[in-house]
Structures are given as C-alpha cells and as structure tokens.
Amino acid sequence: SPESRFLGVDIASSTGRDLCEKASPLTYVSRTAVPFFLAHGDADPLVPAGQSRLLYDALLECAAQPARHELVMLKNAGHATADFSRDLGLYEKISEFLDRWNDAPGGGSYAAHNGRSVRSGT
C-alpha cells in the first residue's frame, strides 16, 4: 500500500496494518466530515492521483451532503508544481468553495480578504 511504503512497514504484520490504517485519511472519513477541497495533478509522480480520487469517492459515499466536497484534477500537473499557482481557474474554484462554506469577515469573497484579486466582493 502507499501508506506501508511511506511508513517503511510490512503491511502483512499486525503492527504494520495498524500503522497504515492510522496513516490513511480514509480511516477518518465520516458522515459529518467538514467540507473538503482536493486539488491533485494528474501527472503527480509522488502521490498517485488515484489516492485523491479514493478519498473523494469515500467522502461522497458517506457524506450527509455530498455537494460539500470537491475534487479538481489539474491536467499535466505534477506534485506541488508551479502549475497549481499559475492556474487562475483553480484560484477561482478555491475562492468559490471557501465563500460557499465559510463566512468571510465583513462580507465579500474569501480571496479578496486574503490578498488575491480573484474576484470582487459582493
């Protein structure tokens, strides 16, 4: 498993299984999970994009409100590359997500309150 490789343990042992279970975000998915915004590069050489898909699918499967969770796959993006910071569409999606699930202080968009001019306040 990705967790066993990361932790350097044998998943076949009971100790290894326990550590891998504790390390997996899937262990902590629940019906009452806070809203999740996941962004992943589909060319990530370190963390397979399928890992984000598994987490997203698990969140949707057990969520009381599946619309609270969002997954964005960035085409041809690697792991934490500049592709993420250059994609203004991604900033827009993040801003909309934060606006939808958090009240920005004083109204307006979350991005406007955090130094980004993604869109204007309302």
| Span 1-27, average pLDDT | 87
Separation of alpha carbons 22 and 78, rounded Å: 26
Q: What is the per-residue pLDDT for 119?
A: 44
Q: So what's the pLDDT on residue 26? A: 92
Higher per-residue confidence, 41 vs 24: 41
Which class for 106: exposed (0-12), middle (13-18), buried (19 or more C-beta within 10 A)? exposed
Q: What is the mean pLDDT of residues 23-34?
A: 89
CA distances from 46 to 25, 38, 51, 77, 107 (A): 17, 16, 11, 12, 39
Q: What is the pTM of this model?
A: 0.76
Q: How large is the average pLDDT for residues 66-89?
A: 91
Query: How confident is the prediction for the chain on average, in pLDDT?
Result: 83
